[in-house]
Amino acid sequence: MHMTHYICTGGCGGVSEKEGTCQAITCPKHGVPLTACDCADGKHEGKQDRDAKEEAEKNKKA
């Protein structure tokens, strides 16, 4: 059994049970609609990881 949930792919790691937008003010995707995900293992099929890694790369250079 799994539930559809909504994740932020901006790197803040935000997860919501309801559809909505990212609430993390420091997140690059603040105010951007969350991405629907229905994974059962909490890994979000790598959706969150991939973008978070990109953010980490940016932060490294800055």
By CB under 5 A, name the binding residues for Zn ion: 8, 10, 12, 14, 22, 24, 27, 29, 37, 39, 44
Q: Do 24 and 14 touch, CB atoms closer than 8 A?
A: yes
Distance (Å, whole) CA 27 – CA 50: 15
Q: Which is nearer to Zn ion, 25 or 62 (CB)?
A: 25
The smaller minimum CB distance to Zn ion, of residues 24 and 49, is found at 24
Q: How far is the CB of 61 from Zn ion (least distance, A)?
A: 20
| CA separation for the pair 13, 38 (Å, rounded) | 16
CB of 37 to Zn ion, least distance (A): 3
